[in-house]
Amino acid sequence: MTSPTTGAMTGLGFGAATGPASVQTRVDGLADRLYTAWAQPDPDTRTRLLAGCCADQVSYANPLGAAVGVDALSALIGEFLGPYPGHRPVRVSAVDVHHDRARWEWGLRDSIGQVVLAGLDVATFDQHGLTTISTFFGPPQPLTRTYTYTHGQGGPRG
């Protein structure tokens, strides 16, 4: 929430004097810690790292599975990365933040650094950390139809 008197972000674990730049810095750190956890092969360490950047009941979904809670997310990460030994997920874009939402691009890199899978994460956050994370694989599919707009006809046709 933005304070009407100061324009500062409030209600996200920041005081009234904290501005959008501090929110940006905090969410950058949450995203980086998330990928540190993803790269951790030890389940106990991974769970501890996730607890440091996610709310206890974080909700996560990707096209192959979903989890609620830090423990369940840690287990899902282990299952997902199991067939990819030596691969490391990394954030490959800046974090784009507004209100309590963020998005960034990621890549799964193999042992020589080539991206073998790419995607987008969309997350929400609060004072406890990341609360929801939606992972998408690859770029969005192109439109299969086109729309034309005719002046004076009141909207799209197609």
pLDDT, tens digit, 9 for 90 and up, residues 76-124: 999 998 898 889 999 999 999 999 999 999 999 999 999 999 999 999 9
Q: Is residue 61 part of a domain?
A: yes
Six-digit token pair at 105?
A: 């691009």
Q: Which residue has the higher pLDDT, 91 or 2?
A: 91
Q: Is residue 4 part of a domain?
A: no
Q: Is residue 15 part of a domain?
A: no
Q: What percent of the chain has pLDDT over 70?
A: 84
Q: Rounded to two decimals, what is the model's pTM?
A: 0.79
Do residues 27 and 102 touch, judged by C-beta distance below 8 A? yes
Interval 56-78 mean pLDDT: 97
Q: Is residue 9 part of a domain?
A: no
Do residues 135 and 117 touch, judged by C-beta distance below 8 A? no
pLDDT at 18: 54
Q: Is residue 78 part of a domain?
A: yes
CA–CA distances in Å: residue 145 to residues 44, 154, 158:
48, 19, 8
Name residue, tokens 């929110």: 23
Domain span holding position 51: 20-140
Q: Is residue 50 part of a domain?
A: yes
Q: Is residue 129 part of a domain?
A: yes
Helix, strand or coil for residue 138?
Answer: coil
- CATH number of 58's domain: 3.10.450.50
Helix (H) or strand (E) holding 158: none
Q: Is residue 90 part of a domain?
A: yes
Looking at the structure of the chain, the number of domains it has is: 1
